[in-house]
């Protein structure tokens, strides 16, 4: 409940500490799970980062510039550039320089890239089903709303 000044009372340090620790444990669990998924995967398969890059390309519905792709995949542009070199050498994407501006590179998903993305998506969906069954559908919806709100707050204040 807001105070007379309209400002909500400060949360207790103990409450914030407990929440911070729970959030840190959640992030550690996600990192450990990502590591186990990476180790369990065939080295010839897509990494989760590569999966996110190809997924962003697919969602775009067409070629993207490297910066747009980095933004869509949530990866730094230099990292995307390195990733694209490997993906292109494996025939999963094609890069094409713009005729109008040779500095601009467009990236497109190939048919083998789509097949690799579909195979990895099946693995990711199976992992999600197994990992997220601890919560009901309503709890997952509530958690998604809260995590989205928290992410926005972090972006606004940090």
β partners of residue 16 = none
> In this structure, what token pair is assigned to residue 114?
């789509």
- The answer to whether residues 73 and 53 touch, using CB atoms and an 8 Å cutoff, is yes
pLDDT confidence of residue 90: 93
Report angle CA 140, 138, 51 to the nearest 5 degrees. Answer: 30
In 10 A of CB 119, how many CB atoms? 13
The pLDDT of residue 46: 86
pLDDT tens digits, the chain, 158 residues: what are they?
A: 555 555 456 668 888 899 999 999 999 998 888 777 665 555 567 888 899 999 999 999 989 999 999 999 988 999 999 999 999 999 999 999 888 888 889 999 999 999 999 999 998 898 889 889 999 999 999 999 999 999 999 889 87
Sign (positive or negative) of CA dihedral 55, 118, 86, 47? positive
**pLDDT value of residue 13:** 85
> Cα 51 vs. chain centroid, distance in angstroms?
9
* Ramachandran class of 61: left when φ > 0, alpha when ψ lies in -120 to 50, beta otherwise: left
Domains of the chain, CATH where assigned:
46-153 (1.10.10.10)
pLDDT of residue 2: 53
Burial of 22 (0-12, 13-18, 19+ CB in 10 A): exposed
Give the model's pLDDT for residue 3: 55
- Cα dist from 30 to 25, 128, 132, whole Å: 9, 11, 12
């Amino acid at each position: 409940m807001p105070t007379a000044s309209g400002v909500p009372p400060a949360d207790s340090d103990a409450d914030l500490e407990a929440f911070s620790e729970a959030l840190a444990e959640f992030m550690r669990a996600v990192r450990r799970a990502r590591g186990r998924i990476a180790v369990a995967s065939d080295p010839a398969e897509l990494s989760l980062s590569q999966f996110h890059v190809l997924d962003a390309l697919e969602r775009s519905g067409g070629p993207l510039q490297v910066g747009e792709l980095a933004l869509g995949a949530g990866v730094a542009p230099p990292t995307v550039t390195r990733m694209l070199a490997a993906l292109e050498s494996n025939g999963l994407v094609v890069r094409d320089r713009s005729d109008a501006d040779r500095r601009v590179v467009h990236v497109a998903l190939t048919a083998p890239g789509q097949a690799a993305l579909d195979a990895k998506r099946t693995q990711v969906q199976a992992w999600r089903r197994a990992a997220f069954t601890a919560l009901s559908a309503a709890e997952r919806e509530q958690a998604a709303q809260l995590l989205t709100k928290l992410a926005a707050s972090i972006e606004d204040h940090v």
